[in-house]
Amino acid sequence: MPTPPRQQPRPAPPGPQQSHQARQVAESFGADAGRYDRARPRYPGALVDRIVAASPGPEVLDVGCGTGIAARQFQAAGCTVLGVDPDPRMADFARRTGVEAEVATFEAWDPAGRAFDAVVAGQSWHWVEPVAGAAKAAQILRPGGRLAVFGHVYDTPPGVADALRAALQRVAPDSPVSARPADTTQPAKTRTALDIYQAMFAAAADGIRQAGGFGEPEQWQFDWELSYTRDQWLDLLPTTGTLTQLAPDQLTEVLGAVGAAIDKNGGSLAIPYTTLAATAARAT
């Protein structure tokens, strides 16, 4: 989700133990699968290439495949990809783009004796129970096969982030983005978005350790930048977890406020992205 500018304290997002139970949010993205596929950023080619190079073969399972964004990138890298997603709308969209996809949560999905060289999860592992998910990945990976879970962290310019927060305070005061520190008169420890998400991926690595069957997990990091026009950013925002739950009139108010802030910012945004990965190889 969009995060406030660096060097501003913010409450931590739900950790893996909470988010994997939030099925209503997890299955809300398919309400506009076309927008999701169009607006969501792709993954760094260097990440895809590194996962492929570190895997013993080309057969990939994409957990929480959504519309097939990551799956198509792995296909372009020469892999054969099967997607699994709990939302039939997302899986159907992925199939229309050439990705084979089955409908299930990963925990309940039946591999039917199939084995894979890599299990990947882009922007989706926080919807999976971390230890059970890693244990299942170990069961379906070939010896030396790789589990790689990854996602984006990004920050917006202060004025745009403030406009989003203020609008959400009006229309959805319980949103984690709109929350303020309980006591603003006391200094708070500064935690950047990157700090928070590095901790989340460290927790994913802990789940891999607890599951057993893997070598020591690693954290990979890729830094890059993407430019957006006003319309492109407003196309992306409704695909984020906080905004997928808003009523149409609430969403219109939020997008209007953010659009006005982007206009004041010159009509465009340069967003610094960091893509983080927690990854480990199955023990041979």
Listed in order, strand segments (DSSP E) in 86-159 are 100-103, 116-122, 141-154
Q: What is the pLDDT of residue 19?
A: 47
Yes or no: say if 207 and 134 are a contact pair by the CB < 8 Å rule: yes
Among 78, 247, 116, smallest CA distance to 255 is for 247
Which regions in the chain score pLDDT beneath 50?
1-17, 19-21, 23, 180-189
What is the distance between the alpha carbons of residues 138 and 213, in angstroms, rounded to a whole number? 6
pTM for this structure?
0.86
Strand partners, 151: 276
DSSP at 177? T
What is the distance between the alpha carbons of residues 145 and 117, in angstroms, rounded to a whole number? 5
Choosing among 3.30.499.10, 3.40.50.150, 3.10.590.10, 3.40.50.300, the CATH entry for 16-156+189-227+273-281 is 3.40.50.150
Q: What is the pLDDT of residue 193?
A: 82
What is the distance between the alpha carbons of residues 256 and 248, in angstroms, rounded to a whole number? 12
What is the distance between the alpha carbons of residues 118 and 47, in angstroms, rounded to a whole number? 13
Each domain of the chain, given as residue ranges in start order, spans 16-156+189-227+273-281
Helix axes 193-211, 130-140, angle to 10 degrees: 60
Q: What is the pLDDT of residue 241?
A: 78
Tokens of 60: 């990939």
Q: ∠171-176-177 over CA atoms, to 5°?
A: 70
What is the distance between the alpha carbons of residues 156 and 6, in angstroms, rounded to a whole number? 9
Is 193 strand, coil or helix?
helix
Q: What is the pLDDT of residue 43?
A: 98
Tokens of 108: 């309940």
Please compute, for residue 29, the number of CA atoms within 13 A of its CA located in the half-sphere on the CB side. 28
C-alpha 234: how far from chain center: 18
The values of phi and psi at residue 262, to 5°, are -65, -40
What is the distance between the alpha carbons of residues 143 and 140, in angstroms, rounded to a whole number? 9
| Number of neighbours of residue 87 by Cβ within 10 angstroms | 20
Q: What is the pLDDT of residue 178?
A: 54
Q: ∠110-106-62 over CA atoms, to 5°?
A: 100
Among 221, 226, 230, 207, smallest CA distance to 273 is for 226
Yes or no: say if 65 and 92 are a contact pair by the CB < 8 Å rule: no
Q: What is the pLDDT of residue 188?
A: 43
What is the distance between the alpha carbons of residues 142 and 140, in angstroms, rounded to a whole number? 7
Q: What is the pLDDT of residue 186?
A: 41
Give the tens place of pLDDT for each residue, 151-208: 999 988 999 999 999 999 999 888 666 554 433 344 444 678 888 899 999 999 999 9
